[in-house]
Amino acid sequence: MAPGLQKRVDAYLVNYISGKCKSMDAMSRSSSSNGSIATDESLFEQPEPLPHSKTAMEKIFWRRSMEMYEKQRNWQESPEGRKMMEFRRNLPAYKEKDAMLSAILLNQVVLISGETGCGKTTQIPQLILESEIDSLRGGMCNIICTQPRKISAMSVSERIATERGEKLGETIGYKVRLEGMKGRDTHLLFCTTGILLRRLSLDRSLKSVTHIIVDEIHERGINEDFLLIVLKDLLPRRPELRLVLMSATLDEKLFSSYFNGAPRAHIPGFTYPVQTYYLESILEITGYKLTPHNQIDEYGMDRAWKMSKQVPRKRKSQIASAVEDTLSVAEFKDYNAQTRESLSCWNPDCLGFNLIEYLLCKICENERPGSVLVFMTGWDDITSLKDKLQAHPVVGDANRVSLLACHGSMGSAEQKLIFDRPPGGIRKVVLATNIAETSITIDDVVFVIDCGKAKETSYDALNNTSCLLPSWISKVSAKQRRGRAGRVQPGECYHLYPKCVFDGFAEYQIPEILRTPLQSLCLQIKSLKLGDISEFLSRALQSPEYLAVQNAIEYLKIIGALDESENLTVLGRYLTMLPMEPKLGKMLILGVIFNCLDPILSVVAGLSVRDPFLAPLDKKDLAEAAKAQFSHDFSDHLALVRAFEGWKVADRDLNAYEYCWKNFLSAQSMKAIDSLRKEFYSLLKDAGLVDSNPITYNVWSYDENLLRAVICYGLYPGICSVVHNERSFSLKTMEDGHVLLHSNSVNARNSRIPYPWFVFNEKIKVNSVFLRDSTAVSDSMLLLFGGNILRGDTDGHLKMLGGYLEFFMDPALAKMYRSLKLELDELIQTK
C-alpha cells in the first residue's frame, strides 16, 4: 500500500474507533441508568463498511475485536455475569479501576501496590484487557503477566477465565514449563518468568506484546531481576509497550529510580485488626513450658542433634543472651518467672513442632471457627509435621480437622481443597511454605502460626559454596504472614520467636541474585546474546559481587559450556534448552550420548527432590540397614537408582506403599522422582536430543562403571580426594582442605573406600564443610571424564587436574590421556 494511502486508512480507523467507543460508552451508561438490558442490536450498530484498501490482516483484527466486544458485553449482562461483576466491583483493585488504567495509559512503567487479596493479580490484567476490548482494540492487544510460580500462573488464569464466563484457553491462557492452555484467541497469558525469558530468546523485541505485567515483584527471584534488565533495555525501543510491576509490598524508591522515576499507584485496602503474639506472650497465655526436650521432638531432635554438631557454641549463646538482654530491660519484668525460665531454653534452630501441635490443639478445642494457616520452612518440614499431627487425637481427627499442605509442587486437586471452605464443623488447617504469604490467598483464614523462617539459598562466593538452609524471614514477610489472619474478620497471629528477634530482622529479604550461584543466569545471558556477562549484570537492580560472576563464568568454562572467549559451545547451547542447573543438564546429555539414560534420569531427578531415604530416630539402625542393601558400591547416587528401580517394580505390582514402608523410603519423594524423570525426558525430546523410543538410549544402562564415570563427568569439578590412614580415611578438597561426609551418606559408614576420589553434588559449610551425596570414582574416570580439555589451554588444564593427580604427570601417560580426552570432549561437543 502506498504510504499516503496507509496514513489515510490509519486516520480513518482511529477516528472510527474513537467515535465508536464514545458512542458505545454513552449507550451503556444510558442502558444501565434506565435499568433495561440492552439488546445486541441496540448496543451494536453494524460497523460501517471498511475501505477497500484495508489489508487482510487489519480486517482479521477488526473482526476479532468486534467479536470480543460482543462476547464480553453478553457475559457482563447475563445473570451469572452480573453476579460476578458485583463480586469484582467490591474488590479494592476494581474500585481504583480508573486511576489504574489512566496511570498505565500515561506512563510506560507503573508500580502498583496493594494488600494481598485486594485484587491485583486477578483484576489489573483483566481490567486492562476489558478496557482494550471496550475500545475495540481487543484483537490487537496481547497481555503477558508473569508469576514467580507455576501454581499461581495456573490457578489465577483459571480464576479469571471463570470471572469472564469462559473456558481456560480461550481469551485467557497460561503457559508454564511443559504445560499450557492457550489458543489462537488468547489475549491474556499468564506464565512463569522463565517462559517469558524463553520467549525473549526467540523474539527479542516482543513484537506482538502490548502489555507486560510482572507480578509479585517483591520476591526478587533471580529470573525476575534478570527479566527487569532485559525489559529496561527493551522499553526505549518499544515506546508503546507498557510495563506494570505489581506487589503487595515494594521498595518504591529502588524500583522507581531504576525505571527513571516511574510512578507508584497504590490500592488502598482494608484488613481487620490482627492480635499479635510473640513467643514470650504465647508462653505466658498458654502456660506452655519450653524445655530442650519440649520444643524438639522426633524430627526436631534430629535437627537439634545435627545443629549441635554444626553450630558453633558461640552463636547459640549470643542469640540466647540477646533474647535475655533485650527482654530483661523493659518487658521482661512483666513476664512471670516461669515464662522467663522457659524462654531461656528457646533454641532458635529448632522449630517447635510440639509447640505448634499444642497451639493447634488449643485453637481447635477452644477458639471460634476459622481456618488456621501455619507457615513452615519447606516441604520436608511440612511433611514431617503433617505426619506428626495426623497421629494427634484432636488435630488428627478427620471429623474435626481437615489437615492440608500447601507448597509449590502440589497437584490441582489438592489446590482446590485449600481454597474451598470445609463442611460445617470441620476446621481447615493449612501447612504452607511462604507461597501462602502473598501469591495464594486462602480466604477464610483467621489464625496464623508463623515459624519465622524460610528455606533460602545462600552463596559464599569466596569459598564458592552454597547451601539451602532455613533462615530468618524479613520484617516485610512477617508482616505479610500476620496480615493473612485479618482478611475476613479480626484474627490472631502467633509468631514462634521473641519480639526482639523480630526487631533484628532485615527490612526486606536479600534478592536471590545476591545469594545464589549465577551459572544458569550466565548461560541465559549468553543464549539471549546480551553481550558481555559482567557488563550486563552490572546493570541489574542490585548487581551481584564481581567474584560471584567470575566464579560462574569460570565454572561454565570448566564444564565446557563456554569457550575461552566466553562464547557458548555446542554443549552450552544444548544446556540453555534444559531449564535446570547446568551440571544436571550436562549429566542428562551424557546419559544420552553414552546410552545409559534411564539410571541417569533417576540420578538427576533424585538430586532435584528431597532425600527419599528416611531416618526416623527410633528406628535408625533398621533404616540404615535398609539403605545399605542399595549401596554396596560406594555411591549415594547409585543407591538411589537402585531404590527407585525397586520402587518401579513394586509400583507395577501395586505394592509401592509396602515397598517404601519396608525400605524406609519416602513414598512422596519416589512419586516426585517418577514424575520428574518423565518431565526431564520431555525436555530432552524438546531439545531434539532424544526421540520417543527410550530403549535405544539404554544399551549400557547396566554398566555400573560407566554410570560412575558419567556421574563424575556431570559433577566435576565437585571433587575431593580420599586419604587413607591407619584405621579410616579422611577427605580433602583443593579449596576447603579437610571436609566431612554428611552422616546420611552411604559412604559415611565405611572405614575403607577402594577408590581414590569422590565426586559430590553439594557441599554445605557450617563450621566444617560437609559433602551431601557422593560417588567414589577411579583415577582413570577422573582423568577421562573430569573437566573439559577443549578449553584451548590444554596443558594448563591438565596441570590443574594435576594438582589433584600429581602422580599421573608422567609425560607419556599424560600425553596418551590428553589425546584420548581430546577425542572424548570433541565427541561431546559435536554430538
Closer by beta carbon to ligand CDP, 421 or else 620: 421
Q: Where are the alpha helices (DSSP H) in 311-352?
A: 313-329, 337-344
Query: If contact means CB under 5 to 8 A according to the sort of partner, which of Mg ion, ligand CDP, none does residue 443 touch?
Result: ligand CDP
Minimal distance, residue 93 CB to ligand CDP, in Å:
6
Q: What x/- string results for residues 62 through 101 when contact with Mg ion is judged by CB under 5 A?
A: ----------------------------------------
Contact in structure between 244 and 112 (CB atoms under 8 Å): yes
Minimal distance, residue 271 CB to ligand CDP, in Å:
11
Scan residues 126-155 and list those touching ligand CDP (CB under 6 A).
155
Minimal distance, residue 162 CB to ligand CDP, in Å:
8
What is the phi/psi pair of residue 462, to 5°? -65, -45
Going 140 to 208 to 198 to 594, the CA torsion angle's sign is positive
The number of angstroms, rounded, from the C-alpha of 565 to the middle of its chain's C-alpha atoms is: 32
Cα–Cα distances (Å) from 82 to 32, 118, 162, in that order, read 12, 20, 13
Count of CB atoms within 10 A of residue 611's CB? 16
Classify residue 108 as exposed, middle or buried by CB count within 10 Å of its CB (0-12, 13-18, 19+). Answer: middle
Closer by beta carbon to ligand CDP, 135 or else 155: 155
Closer by beta carbon to ligand CDP, 163 or else 456: 163
Residue 670, C-beta contacts closer than 8 angstroms, at least 6 positions apart: 612, 643, 644, 647, 656, 660
**C-alpha span between 109 and 258 (Å, rounded):** 11
Closer by beta carbon to Mg ion, 483 or else 591: 483
Q: Where are the alpha helices (DSSP H) in 506-664?
A: 519-527, 533-537, 546-558, 570-576, 582-593, 597-608, 620-628, 636-652, 656-663
- Nearest C-alpha neighbor of 232 from the set 199, 257, 207, 198: 257
- Nearest C-alpha neighbor of 517 from the set 467, 566, 567: 467
**C-alpha span between 452 and 495 (Å, rounded):** 7
Minimal distance, residue 119 CB to ligand CDP, in Å:
4
Query: If contact means CB under 5 to 8 A according to the sort of partner, which of ligand CDP, Mg ion, none does residue 221 touch?
Result: none
Query: If contact means CB under 5 to 8 A according to the sort of partner, which of ligand CDP, Mg ion, none does residue 774 touch?
Result: none
Minimal distance, residue 120 CB to ligand CDP, in Å:
3
Cell numbers at residue 347, please? 533454641
Count Cα neighbours of 165 within 13 Å in the Cβ-side half-sphere. Answer: 16
Q: Which stretch binds Mg ion (CB under 5 A): 115-123, 274-282, 484-492, 718-726?
A: 115-123
Question: Is residue 443 part of the contact set for ligand CDP (CB under 6 A)?
Answer: yes
Closer by beta carbon to Mg ion, 121 or else 747: 121
Of all residues in the shown chain, the one whose CB is closest to Mg ion is 121
Classify residue 202 as exposed, middle or buried by CB count within 10 Å of its CB (0-12, 13-18, 19+). Answer: exposed
Query: If contact means CB under 5 to 8 A according to the sort of partner, which of Mg ion, ligand CDP, none does residue 788 touch?
Result: none
**C-alpha span between 723 and 715 (Å, rounded):** 20
Q: What x/- string results for residues 88 through 127 when contact with ligand CDP is judged by CB under 6 A?
A: ---x----------------------x-xxxxxxxx----
What is the phi/psi pair of residue 550, to 5°? -65, -40
Closer by beta carbon to ligand CDP, 120 or else 526: 120
Query: If contact means CB under 5 to 8 A according to the sort of partner, which of ligand CDP, Mg ion, none does residue 155 touch?
Result: ligand CDP
Cell numbers at residue 815, please? 600425553
Minimal distance, residue 438 CB to Mg ion, in Å:
6
Q: At what angle do helices 811-830 and 582-593 cross, to 10 degrees?
A: 90
Closer by beta carbon to ligand CDP, 96 or else 381: 96
Minimal distance, residue 438 CB to ligand CDP, in Å:
6
Query: If contact means CB under 5 to 8 A according to the sort of partner, which of ligand CDP, Mg ion, none does residue 431 touch?
Result: none
DSSP state, residue 613: B
Count residues contacting ligand CDP (CB under 6 A)? 15
Closer by beta carbon to ligand CDP, 117 or else 300: 117
Closer by beta carbon to ligand CDP, 216 or else 450: 216
Placement of cell 525460665 in the chain? 341
Scan residues 363-402 and list those touching ligand CDP (CB under 6 A).
none
- DSSP element (H, E) containing 403: strand 401-406
Question: Is residue 121 part of the contact set for Mg ion (CB under 5 A)?
Answer: yes
Minimal distance, residue 475 CB to ligand CDP, in Å:
19
Placement of cell 566431612 in the chain? 740
Closer by beta carbon to ligand CDP, 114 or else 221: 114
Minimal distance, residue 28 CB to ligand CDP, in Å:
25
Minimal distance, residue 433 CB to Mg ion, in Å:
16
Classify residue 156 as exposed, middle or buried by CB count within 10 Å of its CB (0-12, 13-18, 19+). Answer: buried
Closer by beta carbon to ligand CDP, 155 or else 701: 155
Minimal distance, residue 221 CB to ligand CDP, in Å:
17
Query: If contact means CB under 5 to 8 A according to the sort of partner, which of Mg ion, ligand CDP, none does residue 118 touch?
Result: ligand CDP
Contact in structure between 763 and 749 (CB atoms under 8 Å): no
Q: Select the residue interacting with ligand CDP from 441, 534, 595, 698 (CB under 6 A).
A: 441
Q: Which stretch binds Mg ion (CB under 5 A): 27-35, 120-128, 388-396, 711-719?
A: 120-128
Count residues contacting Mg ion (CB under 5 A)? 2
Scan residues 154-173 and list those touching ligand CDP (CB under 6 A).
155, 159
**C-alpha span between 511 and 548 (Å, rounded):** 14
Minimal distance, residue 408 CB to ligand CDP, in Å:
16
Q: Which stretch binds Mg ion (CB under 5 A): 65-73, 114-122, 328-336, 801-809?
A: 114-122
Question: Is residue 113 part of the contact set for Mg ion (CB under 5 A)?
Answer: no
Closer by beta carbon to ligand CDP, 120 or else 557: 120
Q: Tell me the DSSP string of 282-298.
A: HHHHH-----HHHH--H
Closer by beta carbon to Mg ion, 147 or else 347: 147
Minimal distance, residue 212 CB to ligand CDP, in Å:
17
- Nearest C-alpha neighbor of 270 from the set 113, 487, 112, 100: 487
Q: Where are the alpha helices (DSSP H) in 78-219?
A: 79-89, 92-95, 97-106, 120-134, 150-163, 193-202
**C-alpha span between 454 and 477 (Å, rounded):** 10
Closer by beta carbon to ligand CDP, 156 or else 603: 156
Closer by beta carbon to ligand CDP, 112 or else 597: 112
What is the contact surface with ligand CDP in residues (CB under 6 A)? 91, 114, 116-123, 155, 159, 419, 441, 443
What is the contact surface with Mg ion in residues (CB under 5 A)? 120-121
